[in-house]
Amino acid sequence: MNWGGEMHSLYADYSKKGQVKIQQMAFVLVAIMIFFGLVSLFYFSIRIANLEQSAVSLKEEDAKELVRKLSSSPEFIFSANDCSNCIDLDKVLILGERRAYENFWKLDYLEIEKVVSKTDKQCNRGNYPDCKFIKVVNETNDYGSVVSAFVSLCYWESNKGGYVKCELGRIHVSGEGIK
């Protein structure tokens, strides 16, 4: 018995039909992957757009609710008299200078404005109360839509022996944006 020997050539007989089938399968596989890729891309683009929209509407809703209740907040309320919608302007002037309240209400913009004023100037200790507005929060220049509400602005007027003066004002609020 002779176990030895020499292999002169290795030859596999692949049929042409088989090769075409493999190519077909490969194409199907690639097509399936592309299809699933496109479907997921389409789904996620719609979902992300919806999520952004939902986040923006929640932000606006939050700002609307906040603007209604902000005048009752301890930092704003004029508590010397029982007045539910009165803002203590003296307190707000000081509040605007305090760093501790940064991000406390999670707002991008918060402004208290006098409706009737002879000037357009921002309030500071030098020109107060003869000024137009106090910016309490101004986090960014791109703060989106602003929600407003009318309030009474009360402060101590030192003329004529001193008395509490209340004027019509507006409060402007914009919720914190998506970061």
Binding footprint of another protein on the chain (CB under 8 A): 18, 21-22, 25, 28-29, 32, 36, 40, 51, 54, 58, 61-62, 65-66, 68-69, 71-75, 77, 79-80, 82, 84-85, 88, 90-91, 93-95, 98, 100-101, 103-106, 125, 156, 158, 162
C-beta of 63 vs 143, nearer to another protein: 63
SS3 assignment, position 28? helix
C-beta of 73 vs 127, nearer to another protein: 73
Site of tokens 């305090």: 98
C-beta of 24 vs 122, nearer to another protein: 24
The whole-angstrom separation of Cα 161 and Cα 13 is 114
Q: Shortest Cβ distance from residue 130 to another protein (Å)? A: 13
Buried b (16+ CB within 10 A) or exposed e, 1-24: eeeeeeeeeeeeeeeeeeeeeeee
Q: Shortest Cβ distance from residue 10 to another protein (Å)? A: 21
C-beta of 106 vs 122, nearer to another protein: 106
In the chain, what are the helix, strand and coil shares in percent, each to the nearest 5? 40, 25, 35
Instruction: Determine the Cα angle at 15 with ends 13 and 20, to 5°.
Output: 145
